[in-house]
């Protein structure tokens, strides 16, 4: 999406339909959340797995987005949004984003501290010694050990239509009618998006109250 000529970031993203909509809108970046916002306060909601790149429930959707953008770039030649993944709880999850092929990340101070304490091992870095392609999606291939991960979405509801994330759907038409329909059909995206919006709104109102209080004092 472009607002007055400014390329924007599509944030609070939890599924492929949202990612396709961001591509159709011309977003420069998208920010898929690896963990739902509530998991940071309630660890019972957190998929604490040994190998997040292969076992985390959001890994399939991350790879689906990357694969879809790579295909769209190949078919259309048009630039696709970059992935700036967010909402990591551990350093292993941040490293998983790099292994998947995400292009940047939003990382908390706690996870940065954990990353800084790790010993660097170049043999375990997926991009070590590999020249960057002219276009990030031109040479993208799903990492071999994750070839099967994106084919099964562990977060998908049994009732979801397999065509819900088709790139042939115009998710922006009629005020985003198809996008809203896709979000409502996916309980995970619907709930996590609602949680994220409440979090953002709460922060906005808190900031607004502080600013108004400051103006009262000057």
Domain count, the chain: 1
Domain interval for residue 100: 2-217
Classify each residue of 85-96 as buried b or exposed e, where b means 16 or more C-beta atoms within 10 Å of its C-beta. bbbbbbbbbbbb
Closest residue by Cα to residue 186 from 151, 147, 144, 156: 156
Residue 66 to residue 102: CA distance in whole angstroms: 8
For a pLDDT cut of 90, what percent of the chain falls above it? 77
pLDDT band at residue 129 under the 50/70/90 scheme = low
pLDDT band at residue 92 under the 50/70/90 scheme = very high
pLDDT at 160 over 60: no
The mean pLDDT of 164-169, rounded to a whole number, is 83
The mean pLDDT of 171-197, rounded to a whole number, is 94
Residue 64: the pLDDT is 95
At 106-125, the pLDDT tens digits run 999 999 999 999 988 877 77
Apex 60 CA angle, 66 and 10, nearest 5: 50
Q: Is residue 84 within 8 Å of 75, Cβ to Cβ? A: no
The mean pLDDT of 184-191, rounded to a whole number, is 94
Least confident of 72-81, 152-161, 195-204: 152-161
CB atoms within 10 A of CB 190: 17
């Amino acid at each position: 999406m472009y607002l007055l000529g400014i390329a924007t970031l599509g944030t609070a993203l939890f599924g492929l339909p949202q990612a396709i909509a961001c591509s159709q809108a011309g977003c420069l970046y998208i920010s898929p959340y690896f963990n739902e916002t509530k998991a940071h306060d309630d660890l019972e909601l957190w998929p604490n797995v040994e190998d997040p790149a292969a076992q985390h429930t959001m890994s399939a959707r991350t790879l689906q987005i990357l694969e879809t953008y790579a295909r769209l770039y190949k078919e259309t030649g048009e630039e696709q949004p970059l992935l700036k993944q967010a909402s990591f709880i551990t350093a292993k999850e941040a490293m998983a984003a790099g292994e998947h092929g995400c292009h940047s990340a939003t990382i908390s101070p706690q996870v940065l501290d954990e990353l800084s304490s790790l010993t660097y091992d170049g043999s375990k870095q997926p991009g070590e010694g590999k020249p960057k392609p002219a276009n990030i999606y031109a040479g993208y291939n799903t990492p071999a050990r994750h070839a099967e991960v994106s084919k099964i979405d562990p977060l998908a509801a049994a009732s979801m239509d397999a065509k819900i994330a088709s790139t042939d759907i115009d998710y922006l038409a009629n005020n985003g009618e198809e996008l809203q329909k896709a979000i409502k059909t996916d309980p995970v995206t619907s709930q996590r998006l609602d949680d994220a919006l409440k979090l953002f709104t709460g922060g906005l109102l808190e900031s607004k109250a502080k600013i108004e209080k400051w103006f009262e004092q000057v």
